[in-house]
Amino acid sequence: MEKPTHEEVSLDSRTRTDSPAVARRVDTVDVDNYHGLHLETGLVYLSLSLIAFSQILNLVGSSALAQDIASEVGGAGHTIWLSSAIAILTCVLGPPVSQAADYWGRKWFIVILTAFGAVGCIIISRTDSMGMAIAGEVVAGISYGSQPLLYAVTSEILPRRWRPIAQGGLNVSIAVGGIFSLLVGFTLTQNNHAGFRTFYYIAAGIQGVAAIICAFLYNPPLRPLQVSLSLGDKLSRLDWVGYGLLASGVVLFSMALAWSQNPYPWTNAHILALFLPGVALLIALGVHQCRFKKNGLFHHGMTGISQSLLLAYLLKEWFFLFMITFLTAIVASLAAAAYSAVFKKLRLPIVVAYTSFMIFNILMATLTLSSGTALWTYPIFLGFGLGVCLTCLVTIAQLSAPPGLISISTGLLLSVRSLGGSVALAIYNAIFNSQISTALSRDIAANILPLGVSPSILPAFIQGLTSQNMTAVAALPGVDPVVILAGVRGLKEAYLASFRYIWVTAAIFSAIAAFGALFIINPTKDLNMHVDAPLEEE
pLDDT score at 15: 36
Residue-wise pLDDT tens digits, 27-47: 345 566 667 778 888 999 999
Decide if 8 contacts 405 (C-beta within 8 A).
Answer: no
Decide if 494 contacts 440 (C-beta within 8 A).
Answer: yes
Confidence of residue 222 (pLDDT cuts 50, 70, 90): confident
Query: How many C-beta atoms surround the C-beta of residue 436 within 10 A?
Result: 16
Rounded to whole angstroms, how far apart are CA atoms 538 and 180?
A: 40
Rounded to whole angstroms, how far apart are CA atoms 399 and 405?
A: 10
pLDDT score at 44: 92
Q: Is residue 10 part of a domain?
A: no
Decide if 355 contacts 300 (C-beta within 8 A).
Answer: no
CA dihedral of 300, 303, 308, 310, whole degrees rounded to 10:
70
- pLDDT at 349 exceeding the cut of 90: yes
Rounded to whole angstroms, how far apart are CA atoms 80 and 31?
A: 49
Decide if 114 contacts 210 (C-beta within 8 A).
Answer: yes
- pLDDT at 24 exceeding the cut of 80: no
Q: Is residue 460 part of a domain?
A: no
- Numbers of helices and strands, H then E, in the chain: 22, 0
The DSSP-derived string for 477-492 is TT--HHHHHHHHHHHH
Task: Supply φ then ψ for residue 531, to 5 degrees.
Answer: -110, 120
Rounded to whole angstroms, how far apart are CA atoms 225 and 106?
A: 12
Total structural domains within the chain? 1
Confidence of residue 357 (pLDDT cuts 50, 70, 90): very high
Query: How many C-beta atoms surround the C-beta of residue 536 within 10 A?
Result: 13
CA 325 to chain centre: 15
Rounded to whole angstroms, how far apart are CA atoms 279 and 245?
A: 10
Rounded to whole angstroms, how far apart are CA atoms 509 and 186?
A: 32
Residue-wise pLDDT tens digits, 63-101: 889 989 998 998 877 888 888 888 888 888 888 898 888
Host domain of residue 69: 39-239+293-436+497-518
Residue-wise pLDDT tens digits, 191-221: 899 999 999 999 999 999 999 999 999 998 8
Q: Is residue 259 part of a domain?
A: no
Decide if 287 contacts 482 (C-beta within 8 A).
Answer: no
pLDDT score at 537: 60
Q: Is residue 464 part of a domain?
A: no
Proportion of the chain above pLDDT 70, given as a percent: 87
Residue 213: CATH number of its domain: 1.20.1250.20
- pLDDT at 314 exceeding the cut of 50: no
Lowest average pLDDT, out of 8-12, 51-55, 62-66, 397-401, goes to 8-12
Q: Would you tell me the crossing angle of helices 107-125 and 130-141 to the nearest 10 degrees?
A: 170
H or E element that contains 493: helix 481-517
Q: Is residue 322 part of a domain?
A: yes
Better-predicted residue by pLDDT, 15 or 538: 538
Looking at every residue in the chain, the average pLDDT score rounds to 83
Better-predicted residue by pLDDT, 291 or 335: 335
Q: Is residue 3 part of a domain?
A: no
Decide if 360 contacts 328 (C-beta within 8 A).
Answer: no
- pLDDT at 17 exceeding the cut of 50: no
Among the listed residues 8, 27, 22, 23, the one whose alpha carbon sits nearest the alpha carbon of residue 530: 27
pLDDT score at 403: 75
Q: Is residue 388 part of a domain?
A: yes
Rounded to whole angstroms, how far apart are CA atoms 379 and 364?
A: 9
Rounded to whole angstroms, how far apart are CA atoms 272 and 266?
A: 7
Q: Is residue 278 part of a domain?
A: no
Residue-wise pLDDT tens digits, 245-292: 878 887 888 778 777 766 777 788 888 888 889 889 888 887 877 777
Letter for the amino acid at 472?
A
